[in-house]
Amino acid sequence: MKKKKMIISRETMDVDFVRKVEALSGTSVRRCFQCGKCSAGCPMATFMEHPPNRVVRLLQLGQWQRVLAGRSIWYCASCETCSTRCPNKVHLASIMDALRKLSWDLDGPSKESYVQLANKIFLDNIRIYGRQYEMRLAAVFNVKSGQFLKDMMLGPKLLSKGKLKMFHSKNKNMPEIEKIFARIEEMRRKGEAL
């Protein structure tokens, strides 16, 4: 990835976005003094183009677009090692959560990663069927992500072992499921949940 020069000014530093992250995560971004301990212990850091400390650094400079354009936040496994070890009480795992939520709200599925797409189809399935319907998940994911033949050869094997069902089976108590979704949506509207 080509690294673009950062032009820093009041206008290019989006402080409002960072305030939102701080409000959602309940932790201060400014507190971080870049010791790098979070990146040192992160099991997923090798997969990230911005290691955890740099995610915070970019937020300090209001450069959230650079963070969301990458896949770092989606590779975060939420293991919370960073938050546990941080010497300065920055809850980085919560910041990652907040970033994923804001990324979702902003522009739907991220182009860099399909994690967001997979998450979305997964939850849609739950809402429609009350439980997971893997066949549909795989099919819709492949179509939407444009990778039509992805993992195709795994299909027969999973079918023969009974791990993948051809037809869905619906939960019997759909109104209750819908209540859960509705309640979370309500909480989100009020800003009580991510």
Report how far residue 4's alpha carbon sits from residue 135's, in angstroms, rounded to the nearest whole number: 41
Q: Is 20 in the site for other proteins (CB under 8 A)?
A: no
Q: Is 90 in the site for other proteins (CB under 8 A)?
A: no
Choose between 27 and 125: whose C-beta lies nearer to other proteins.
27
| Contact pick of 1, 5, 87, 175 for other proteins (by CB under 8 A) | 5
Smallest distance, other proteins to C-beta of residue 37, A: 13
DSSP 80: -
Q: Is 8 in the site for other proteins (CB under 8 A)?
A: yes
Q: Which of 121, 103, 120 is nearest to 112 (CA)?
A: 103
Amino acid letter for position 189: R
Q: Is 10 in the site for other proteins (CB under 8 A)?
A: yes
DSSP 62: T
- The 50-69 contact track toward other proteins, x by CB under 8 A, reads ---xx--xx-xx-x------
Radius of gyration, alpha carbons of the chain: 19
The helix/strand/coil state of 159 is helix
| Contact pick of 19, 23, 26, 30 for other proteins (by CB under 8 A) | 30
Q: Which stretch binds other proteins (CB under 8 A): 1-9, 70-78, 170-178, 181-189?
A: 1-9
Choose between 50 and 101: whose C-beta lies nearer to other proteins.
50
| Sign of the dihedral defined by the CA atoms of residues 174, 176, 182, 185, in that order | negative
Q: Is 23 in the site for other proteins (CB under 8 A)?
A: no
Cα–Cα distances in angstroms (integers) from residue 41 to residues 31, 86, 92, 109, in the given order = 19, 10, 12, 28
Binding site for other proteins (CB under 8 A): 3-10, 13, 28, 30-31, 33-34, 53-54, 57-58, 60-61, 63
